[in-house]
Structure 1
Amino acid sequence: MMTEPSPVSLLRPVRSGNAFEETVERLLQAIKLGVVAHGAKMPPERELAAQLGISRVTLREAIRALQESGYLDVRRGRYGGAFVVYRPPDPRHGDLRRAVNEMGPSELDDALTFRMAVECGAAQVLADRDLTPAQSATLRRRLADVNDAGPSDYRRLDTAFHLCIAELTGSPLLAAACADARLRVTDLLNAIPILSFNIQHSAAQHAAIVDAILDGDPALARQAVAEHLEGTAALLRGFLA
C-alpha cells in the first residue's frame, strides 16, 4: 500500500555500528536536498531519534556537529529546536568545472546513469499503480509548487517534485535510491545558473511526466522522465564544453 510522503521520509534508520556518522549523513542529505528547507525546523528530537532508530544522545551529538559546521542553528526555549541555516551557494564561474573535477569524469557519467535508471524506474512503477485521490493530489501539488517557484526556491522544489514520485511508490528503498542519485548531482545542478528558457522547457517535461503517471501509462512515464533527464545531462555537458 502506498503512503503519503512525509517531509523527512528519507531519514531511514541508521546502522548501529556507525550511528553517529550515518546520522550526520542522513541529516545532511535532508538539508542539502532541501527536504527540510532553509529556515525550517527539524522534526522534534523524540520523533527524529525514533525515525532514525538511534538514541537521543547520538542525535544530539550529530546536531551539535552540524551546528558547528554551519548547517543548523539550535535555539532553546518554548519555540526552540534545530533550524536549517544552510543555503546552496549562488553559482559562480568555474564552480561546475571544479565540482566535476572533484568527482572525476567517469564518476559523473556513472552518477547520471544511476539517476536515469532509478528515476525512470520509479516513474514506471508509479504509473502502474492505482493512486488514491490524495496521492494524485500530492503529485499535482508538487508539480504546481515547482511551476510557481522563484529562482531562489526552484532547485529545492524541483528536487521535491522528483523525489515525490519515488516516495509515492511506497518503497523506502526506491525513495532512498532516488535521493542518493539526486544528491550525487546536487552540487553540479547548483553550479548552473537558473535559465528562464530551461525552466519553461522543464515545466513542459514535468507536466508530461505527471500526465503519463496519472494516465496509468508506465512506458510513456519512463520515456518522459528519460527525455527530461537527458536534457539535464545535455545542459551540464553544455556548460562544461
Structure 2
Amino acid sequence: MTDSDVSTLASADEALFRPVRTGNAFEETVERLLQAIRLGVAGPGERLPAERDLATRLNISRVTLREAIRALQEAGYVESRRGRYGGTFVNETLPAAKPAGRQVAPNELDDVLTMRRVLEVGAAEAAASRPLTDSDRTYLRDQLTEARTEDLSEYRRKDSRLHLAIAEVAASPTLTSAVADVRVRLNQLLDAIPLLPTNIDHSHTQHAAIVEYILTGDAVGARDAMAEHLEGTASLLRGFLS
C-alpha cells in the first residue's frame, strides 16, 4: 500500500467515523459501519476500531454500538472474537447487495428515497393541518396499533398500511395513490435487507409520535417527526444496498 493509499484510507476513516445524529443513532451507525466495510476502510478479515474508541468517535453509547454490531453480525458482515487479540472483525466473504435478486440501478435508490420524502413528509403535514373526523382518528389509532405487530412476517405489510393511512386522512386521493406507488418500489428494496429488531422498536416509537402530532393538529411536529423517521429507513437502505 502506498503512502497515498494510507492517506486516502485515513481520510475516509475520519469521514465515516464522525459523530452520528441522535435522532436515528442506531440506523445511522449501521449505515456508517456498512459504508466502512464496503469502501474497504475495514476490509475482509480486518478488525474494526476498538469498541470504546468507536463509540467515542461516533458519539454514541456503547449499548447503541453493540446493537449495531450485533445486527451486522446477524446479517453476515462481521464476527466477534474473544481473547487477547479479539474484537469485531469483518467477515472474509460478505453478503451480496442484491435486492429481490437484482442489482440496484444507478440513482434508483436516491430516486425512491427522494420521492418518498417529498410525498410522505407532505402527507403527514397535510394530515395534521386539516380537521379530522372521529372516523379518521379511530382509523389512525387502529392502524398504529396494527403496526405494532410482533409477527415479523407481517411487519412490512402493516407498516405500509399505517403510512398509507396517514396519506388517506390527508384527504387527497391523488396523494394517497402516489404514496402507494412509491411504497411498492420501496418495499422491493426493503425486502432485500434484514429486519432489525432495534430498528423496528425505534420505528414503533416514531410512528406513535407522528400519529400523536397528527391527532393534535401539530403540522410542524408531524412534518419533522416523519422526516426523521424516513431518514432512519434511508440510512439502513443506503448502508445495505449502496
Match of 1:233? 234
Q: Is the 8 A contact 1:149 1:157 kept in 2?
A: no
1:61-100: per-residue Cα shift (whole Å, max 9, x none)? xxxxxxxxxxxxxxxxxxxxxxxxxxxxxx9985753459
Instruction: Using the aligned pairs only, state the percent identity.
Output: 50
- Within 2, Cα distance between the matches of 1:108 and 1:234? 11
- Within 2, Cα distance between the matches of 1:95 and 1:153? 25
- Within 2, Cα distance between the matches of 1:95 and 1:165? 34
Match of 2:223? 222
Which ranges in structure 1 are unaligned for 5 or more consecutive residues? 1-90
- Within 2, Cα distance between the matches of 1:96 and 1:136? 40
Which ranges in structure 2 are unaligned for 5 or more consecutive residues? 1-74, 77-93
1:30-81: per-residue Cα shift (whole Å, max 9, x none)? xxxxxxxxxxxxxxxxxxxxxxxxxxxxxxxxxxxxxxxxxxxxxxxxxxxx
Which amino acid in the other structure matches residue 98 of structure 2? R
- Within 2, Cα distance between the matches of 1:187 and 1:178? 14
For structure 1, which segment, 100-109 or 124-133, has the greater mean C-alpha deviation from structure 2 after superposition?
100-109
Classify the secondary structure of the residue corresponding to 2:98. helix
Length-normalised TM-score, structure 1: 0.58
Match of 1:197? 198
- Within 2, Cα distance between the matches of 1:212 and 1:198? 21
Match of 1:77? none
Give the deviation of 1:238 after TM superposition: 1.9
Match of 1:82? none
Give the deviation of 1:234 after TM superposition: 0.2
Query: Is 1:113 matched up with 2:153?
Result: no
Which amino acid in the other structure matches residue 116 of structure 1? R
Q: Is the 8 A contact 2:99 2:189 kept in 1?
A: no
Alignment of 1:110-189 (within 5 A): 110-189=111-190
Which amino acid in the other structure matches residue 235 of structure 2? A
Match of 1:213? 214
- Within 1, Cα distance between the matches of 2:155 and 2:207? 13
Which amino acid in the other structure matches residue 201 of structure 2? Q
- C-alpha root-mean-square deviation of aligned residues, in Å? 2.2
C-alpha change, 1:111 and 1:209, in structure 2 (3 Å) is: same
Q: State the structure with more CA Rg.
A: 2
C-alpha change, 1:129 and 1:147, in structure 2 (3 Å) is: same
Match of 1:61? none
